[in-house]
Structure formats: C-alpha cells, structure tokens
Amino acid sequence: MQRFLFGPEEEGLHEGEMSASSSRELAQLFEQAKECHNCTLAASRLNVVFGEGNPFAEVAIIGEAPGAEEDASGRPFTGRSGQLLDTMLHTAGFSRQELYICNILKCRPPGNRNPLKDEIRSCMPLLFEQLQIVRPKVILILGKVAANTIFENRLSLGAMRGTMKAWRGFDCCSTFHPAAVLRNPHLKKEWMEDMQLMRDHCETIGRKKNARENEN
C-alpha cells in the first residue's frame, strides 16, 4: 500500500528517514512506559504491552486493554482474537506488518475487567503520543469500551460504527472487537463492511493528495 506524505514538517524528508525517526521516538516512549507506575496495574502486570507495527502506518488499530495472553507475551492482539484479526485484515487487503496496533491501556486489568477512570487517565496521554508519532490516516477502534473511552460517550457500538468520526485530528472508524466476533460469527459481515470503510477512506485521502500534487 502506498504511503502519501502530508504536512509541512514532512517536506524534504524521505519515507525511510521518517520511518527511522518514528521508530526511535516510539522506542524512547516504550522505555518510558516500562517505568510507568501511575496506576495500580503496574503492580500486577507481567509485561507492558506497548504496541507494535509499522511506525509510519497509514492505519492504526486501537483496542481496549491487554488480556492474559498479551500480558504474558508483551504483544497486542495475540491468541484467538489476534488470529481472527489477522485473518480479517488479510481478507480486507491489509497485513499486520503494515499497520500499527496498540491498546488504550498498556497493562492488563485483573480478570480482564473494563478499564477504570484513573487507569484511562494514566494511559491516554501515552496513547496520544504514540499516535502523534505514527500519524496514521485512519484509526480503527475495536470494541464498544474502546470507542466509548476515546469519544467519551455512552453510545452503543451500533450508533458509532458505519461512519468516520473525527477525534483529536484523526479520522476514526469503530467496529466490533475480535472477541465479540468469535462469540457471534454473524458479525463478520458488518466487520468487513467497517474494514472496507476504513480502506476506502485511506484511498480517498490518497487520491486527494495526488490531485493536489498534480495541480502544483
């Protein structure tokens, strides 16, 4: 997938140089995250699940929080949910390697409970820093809890999915968490519709960028 550069700070920089710079910034932020003890989750975590993927990704994927397998491995979206996510991304024409994947919380809540307000307050600045470094065109938000947290609302997922919504300068698309699709396979059709919405939006941004460049 072609990456389209945009923004005055990117003028004169090659994509490889920008990717290397983003990698360094993310590595430094990861080191900071590993030292974080801003909430009680630090005491029970096995690993900080910071995030992984292309530091110059067009698409970022955000989930709610790590589960037991993610806590053990230190990687986001592993296990059955991660396998299904990889499969669905591939079907939609994406590979995990070209995306950036992370969670709102970087540490696992006990028993996989929903994040608490103080935990969200502790981790949201870190998430926003990650996104500022990667600067994706589109963010895919997985699950109602993650979408409610990011948009600070109590809407149903049905009321939020199927459209693009702006958040802090990013274009976001909300869809089902892979765990929900594992429980209810009939959701796959709607999930693929959201994946296509995300892909179409990326391509629209790219076409507009190319059109502006051709005019100059």
Judge whether 84 and 178 are in contact, CB under 8 Å. Answer: yes
Judge whether 172 and 143 are in contact, CB under 8 Å. Answer: no
Domain 14-215 architecture: 3-Layer(aba) Sandwich (3.40)
Tracing tokens 């589109």 back to the chain, one arrives at 138
Q: How far is CA 50 from the centre of its chain?
A: 11
Average pLDDT, the chain: 89
CA distance 26 to 12: 22
N- to C-terminal Cα separation, the chain: 24
List per-block mean pLDDT (blocks of 10 residues) for the chain, which spans 216 residues: 30 53 94 96 97 95 96 95 94 92 98 95 97 96 98 96 95 96 96 93 86 77
CA distance 163 to 27: 33
The pLDDT, as a whole number, for residue 213 is: 76
Q: Would you give the DSSP letter of residue 148?
A: H
The pLDDT, as a whole number, for residue 62 is: 98
Token pair in block for residue 93: 């024409």
The CA-atom distances, in angstroms, between 62 and each of 8, 25, 185, 189, 213 are: 27, 19, 21, 20, 31
Token pair in block for residue 44: 């029970």
Token pair in block for residue 84: 């299904």
Task: Name the residue among 62, 44, 21, 211 with its Cα closest to residue 148.
Answer: 62
Cβ within 8 Å of residue 205, ≥6 positions away: 4, 137, 138, 171
CA distance 94 to 199: 9
The pLDDT, as a whole number, for residue 17 is: 59
Task: Name the residue among 201, 82, 187, 92 with its Cα closest to residue 139.
Answer: 201
The pLDDT, as a whole number, for residue 130 is: 97
